[in-house]
Amino acid sequence: MKNVLKRYSKKPAIYLPVLFVIGRVILFLSLPLEGIRGYGDLWNFYNQSQLGVPFLDYWTEFPPLFPFLAYLVNFLTGGQQHSFDYLLTGMFTAAQAGSLYIFVKINQWIHGEIEQKGRNLLYFSLLLPLFYGWGYFDPVAVFFMMAAIYALTKGKDLSAGFMITLGALTKWFPIMVVPVIWKKKPGKRALVITIFIVGIMAVVWGSLFVLNPVMTQASFTAQIKKGSWETLWALIDGNLGTGNFVPEIDRQRPQTALLSSGNAPKVSPWITLLVFAGFGIWLFLKTKLQDLRQLTSFVGLTFIIFFIWSPGYSPQWLLYLLPLIFLSLPISEAGLFGLVLVLINLLEWPVLLSRGFFWSLYLIVPLRSLVMALLGFSFYQSAHD
């Protein structure tokens, strides 16, 4: 046992992901299939995968990488829903184990031996039981985000760009890493990486547009058209609902992608975008990133600015913030923010909204927004320490 503990103290990057996978397997074996499906979107992923080839036979609100992955999983499992769910949740677990490995490696570079163990334990403890990690596909995008930060710190610029590209083709959020490329790299090098990212994305999306322009355009605009949800902007608009689409949508009919899930915005997101983008540019010009901790802090600050501006918010997006919190902030502060945000997001979904208590958004959303604003200030301080 002493030898095992000694090896762990030297190489925790391997052991924690292995323990994570073991813990998840035990958790999945302990739960009935309905418990694993729970309040997540596995049902939605399965139903979409049954419709045929994404972007060709139907439109989807997601960027292309995951819908094609779900289509492949559906093919491999012969369309059996229980097998589909188990294989997909296994993939999500593997993605989180990979993210945890990268987290531990980056943590070793930033913090001392004693402190890094505490951060590893806190992040591990919150991540393992959190159902957002297997009920949604965000863990795949989080992995690409973490891999991009890791590659960037290792000086592997094109690898970082490729990871950002894969992340953005899964979910748009890993693009938040791009600003730190422009902070850390010379202008010409940053431009090359950015062109590399945009070029690959243009080829992928362009190919889909060529194959089926109608379905691809519907997919590209569906999220924009559906309206605001679970944000301060949604409360202003009078939209008390989740980010789910209205029941009238038919993904095989592209015109239904234009159906809104709520009231039209009273404040144009394009106007607020100018304000928040201007604020972000000001912070970008003011910030000087001298070490890896400041880099991860700035990525976290970028996420906060985006989340506060965004017309919509989904509780599983917390997964993008948690590793940045535990890498960047003082450990007691990180633990407090991490625990509070997990509790608030779980209270939002599934505790209250799944039971129809949509009036609670008038309490939850301002509270979450306040905590995020405070978190943004902490990220700002950490980026300038």
Q: Which residues contact residue 311 at a Cβ distance below 8 angstroms, ignoring those fewer than 6 apart?
A: 227, 228, 229, 231, 233, 234, 265, 269
Rounded to 5 degrees, what are φ and ψ at 54?
Answer: -60, 145
pLDDT digits over 141-179, tens only? 999 999 999 999 999 999 999 999 999 999 999 999 999
**Nearest CA-CA partner of 379 in 321, 336, 339:** 321
**Rounded Cα–Cα distance for residues 327 and 123 (Å):** 9
Strand partners, 312: 229
Cβ neighbours around 35 below 10 Å, total: 11
pLDDT digits over 115-149, tens only? 999 999 999 999 999 999 999 999 999 999 999 99
**Rounded Cα–Cα distance for residues 56 and 291 (Å):** 45
What pLDDT does 8 receive? 47
pLDDT digits over 188-217, tens only? 999 999 999 999 999 999 999 999 999 999
First CA to last CA distance, the chain: 40
- Would you call the peptide bond into 247 cis, given omega within 30 degrees of 0 as the criterion? no
Provide mean pLDDT across the span 292-312: 97
- Side-chain-side CA neighbours of residue 357 (13 Å): 11
- Side-chain-side CA neighbours of residue 98 (13 Å): 17
pTM recorded for the entire structure: 0.96
**Nearest CA-CA partner of 306 in 269, 335, 260:** 269
- Side-chain-side CA neighbours of residue 198 (13 Å): 7
* DSSP 8-state code for residue 313: -
Q: Which residues contact residue 385 at a Cβ distance below 8 angstroms, ignoring those fewer than 6 apart?
A: 293, 294
**Nearest CA-CA partner of 153 in 97, 109, 104:** 109
Complete DSSP assignment for 18-37: HHHHHHHHHHHHHS-HHHHH
**Rounded Cα–Cα distance for residues 230 and 138 (Å):** 18
pLDDT digits over 79-102, tens only? 999 999 999 999 999 999 999 999
**Nearest CA-CA partner of 299 in 197, 180, 185:** 180
Rounded to 5 degrees, what are φ and ψ at 39?
Answer: -105, 15
36 close to 136: Cβ distance less than 8 angstroms? no
**Rounded Cα–Cα distance for residues 95 and 101 (Å):** 10
pLDDT digits over 30-80, tens only? 999 999 999 999 999 999 999 999 999 999 999 999 999 999 999 999 999
166 close to 173: Cβ distance less than 8 angstroms? no
* DSSP 8-state code for residue 266: S
50 close to 77: Cβ distance less than 8 angstroms? no
Q: Which residues contact residue 21 at a Cβ distance below 8 angstroms, ignoring those fewer than 6 apart?
A: 93, 94, 97
**Rounded Cα–Cα distance for residues 243 and 314 (Å):** 7
pLDDT digits over 239-252, tens only? 999 998 888 899 99
> Which token pair is 194?
């950015």
> Which token pair is 206?
């362009």
Rounded to 5 degrees, what are φ and ψ at 283?
Answer: -65, -40
**Nearest CA-CA partner of 159 in 118, 193, 203:** 193
pLDDT digits over 324-346, tens only? 999 999 999 999 999 999 999 99
Q: Would you call 200 exposed, middle or buried from its count of C-beta atoms within 10 A (0-12, 13-18, 19+)?
A: middle
